Amino acid sequence: MSSKEDVLGIDISKAKFDVALLKGEHKIKSKVFANTPLGFAELQEWLNSQAVSNLHACMEATSIYGNALARFLVAAGHKVSIVNPSRPKAFGRSELSRTKTDRADAKVIARFCAALHPAAWTPPAVEVEQLQALVHRLDCLTAMQQQEQNRLETVDSILVDAISTHIDFLKAQIAETKQLIRKHFDQHPHLKAQRDLLTSIPGIAETTATAILVEIRDVSTFDSAAQLAAFAGLTPQEFSSGSSVRGKPRLSKIGNSRLRKALFMPAIVARRYNPLILAFCDRLLAKGKSKMAVVGAAMHKLLRQVFGVLKSQKPFDPNFLPISP
């Protein structure tokens, strides 16, 4: 961070967001705004009143609540970073911070940003955000249908008709949303081309390919397959202390849970039909690795293949060496 760069830590929620402004060595200034367009405008007015010109704003990746604010700040000419929540949390622990309030969290994010200078965020294309909204809507509808289906098995008979009617409604909404997703791909050939590249990988069908696309958004933001694996929380985490306390390595799971979920079943399928992953898993099983450890490793390997086809813009080729380690 240059001496002239001011830092804004943002702790955001559905209805409001807390900010902490750090200007050089001065005391942090805090304020709260509504998470609305009017609140965004009031934030900019406040920043102007504080004589802020070269701003680096930082917020955590918290679902969709921060998307509109992040876009507003970028459009206003500010540098914005959106980081994995685990990073400021770990930074706060290193400071021995014990206060847990929205205001305190914003201050931790500001100090984290000033100390570690996270990379700038680039807004995804509008059509990618729209596709993500459709896919997340489909996920919600599918979950609601399953919940109602489960209730139908145990509910009192007086509620059967009402729940059955709701299930029928949800089925219609699911079908309509799937149609909207298909139409969206037809309207954006470049997205369809990316999806087709992913479905060239044995084990990945259209539904999974779509889910992967909306979570990765733009593969160019990742310099390596290792970075993408870390983003998904598919990197191994080891536990050891001296020579007396040791734990088996396991996936860190500090990352995008939706992306991990999207890869779970395809990894199991890939163990049978993807030649590279089949051979890889056989080697791990021969070494005595547990079945779940092998599935996790297969998810990691599959994501590396995703990175390879998207970066190279070429369909899956079992004889093609990975782009990066």
Q: What is the pLDDT of residues 56-96, one digit of tens each?
A: 999 998 667 888 999 999 999 999 999 878 788 888 888 87
Which pLDDT band holds residue 3 (cuts at 50, 70, 90)? low
Q: Which of these, 107, 113, 174, 109, lies nearest to 140 by C-alpha position?
A: 174
Q: Does residue 198 lie in a domain region?
A: no
Residues 82, 144 within the same domain = no
Q: How far apart are alpha carbons 227 and 119 in whole angstroms?
A: 13
pLDDT at 240 over 50: no
Task: Using the 3D structure, point to which of 116, 151, 173 is the last residue of a domain.
Answer: 116
Which pLDDT band holds residue 212 (cuts at 50, 70, 90)? very high
Residues 308, 259 within the same domain = yes
Q: Does residue 121 lie in a domain region?
A: no
Q: How far apart are alpha carbons 178 and 173 in whole angstroms?
A: 9
Domain of residue 84, residue span = 6-116
Residues 81, 23 within the same domain = yes
Residues 160, 228 within the same domain = no
Q: What is the pLDDT of residue 218?
A: 87
Which pLDDT band holds residue 255 (cuts at 50, 70, 90)? confident
Q: Does residue 283 lie in a domain region?
A: yes
Residues 32, 110 within the same domain = yes
Q: What is the mean pLDDT of residues 308-316?
A: 95
Greatest C-alpha distance within the chain? 70
Alpha carbon separation from 123 to 44, 82, 126, 217, 282 (Å, rounded): 19, 10, 8, 10, 41
pLDDT at 36 over 50: yes
**How many other C-beta atoms lie within 10 A of the C-beta of residue 62?**
15
pLDDT at 245 over 60: no
Residues 220, 253 within the same domain = yes
Number of structural domains the chain divides into: 3
Task: Using the 3D structure, point to which of 89, 116, 143 is the last residue of a domain.
Answer: 116
Which CATH number goes with the domain that contains 104?
3.30.420.10
Query: 309: Cβ–Cβ under 8 A, 6 or more apart, which residues?
Result: 197, 198, 200, 201, 315, 316
Q: Does residue 196 lie in a domain region?
A: no
Token reading at 125: 């294309």
pLDDT at 1 over 70: no
Q: How far apart are alpha carbons 56 and 1 in whole angstroms?
A: 9
Residues 137, 88 within the same domain = no
Contact 230, 168 (CB under 8 A): no
Residues 134, 220 within the same domain = no
Q: Does residue 1 lie in a domain region?
A: no
Residues 82, 13 within the same domain = yes
Residues 146, 101 within the same domain = no
1, amino acid identity: M
235, amino acid identity: T
pLDDT digits (tens, 9 = 90+) for 185-200: 999 999 999 999 999 9
Q: What angle do CA 258, 187, 71 make, to 5 degrees?
A: 55
| Residue in this structure with the two tokens 């909204």, named with its chain if needed | 133
Q: Does residue 259 lie in a domain region?
A: yes
Residues 18, 46 within the same domain = yes
Q: What is the pLDDT of residue 256?
A: 84
> Which contacts of 197-200 are long-range, i.e. CB under 8 A and separated by 24 or more positions?
197/309, 197/310, 197/313, 197/314, 197/315, 197/316, 198/306, 198/309, 198/310, 200/309, 200/315, 200/316
pLDDT digits (tens, 9 = 90+) for 139-181: 999 999 999 999 999 999 999 999 999 999 999 999 999 999 9
Residues 159, 99 within the same domain = no
Which pLDDT band holds residue 249 (cuts at 50, 70, 90)? low
pLDDT at 121 over 70: yes
Q: What is the pLDDT of residue 48?
A: 94
pLDDT at 314 over 50: yes
Task: Using the 3D structure, point to which of 95, 116, 137 is the last residue of a domain.
Answer: 116
Contact 236, 252 (CB under 8 A): yes
Q: Does residue 99 lie in a domain region?
A: yes
Percent of the chain with pLDDT strictly greater than 90: 68
Q: Does residue 179 lie in a domain region?
A: yes
Which pLDDT band holds residue 21 (cuts at 50, 70, 90)? very high
Contact 15, 114 (CB under 8 A): no
